Amino acid sequence: MVMEHGLTITNDDYEKICAILQYAKAEVADLLEEELDRANVVPRSELSPEIVSMNSRIKFLDVNTGKEFVATLVYPNDADIDENKISILAPIGAALIGLRVGQIIDWPLASGRVKRIKVISVINDEHGFKKAL
């Protein structure tokens, strides 16, 4: 997968995601594990409000189609497509974690296609950070 810049993740998110990787489909688990292995792991207090973490609300662009989406990144038990809550174990969720506003990632899909995603804005309520979507 190709990405501009690195990714950053909180130590809490890192530990929780590692603990549930066994429940992901093999292709997602492998890519997510690769991402986690190269991530910069920091305490939540040091996470920039522009970085996607668990429970972030994200506005992102599917560069391939030009469509914009708004979704919340959640753990599998909280996933709900009708409420735009994307599981960290879904391909798009796995691609978004740790990205910063403006970053782009090329994420391979099981179909053999590559999804190119750009983060437009992030709301991390845990930071008290509000950015207009």
CATH code of residue 107: 3.10.50.30
Residue 120, domain member (yes or no): yes
Residues 124, 114: Cα–Cα separation, whole Å: 27
Q: How much of the chain exceeds pLDDT 70, in percent?
A: 89
Task: Estimate to the nearest angstrom the gap between the alpha carbon of 42 and the chain centroid.
Answer: 16
Closest CA to 9 of 103, 124, 97, 90: 97
Residue 132, domain member (yes or no): no
Residue 65, domain member (yes or no): yes
Average pLDDT, the chain: 87
Residue 62, domain member (yes or no): yes
What are the two backbone dihedrals, phi and then psi, of residue 7, each rounded to the nearest 5 degrees? -130, 155
Residues 6+ apart with CB under 8 A from 65: none
Cross-strand pairs, 71: 58
Task: Please report the pLDDT score of residue 7 as a whole number.
Answer: 84
For 15-74, write each residue's pLDDT tens digit: 999 999 988 888 888 888 988 988 999 999 999 999 999 999 999 999 999 999 999 999
Number of structural domains the chain divides into: 1
Q: Which is more confidently placed, 79 or 109?
A: 79
Structural domain boundaries, residue 114: 2-127
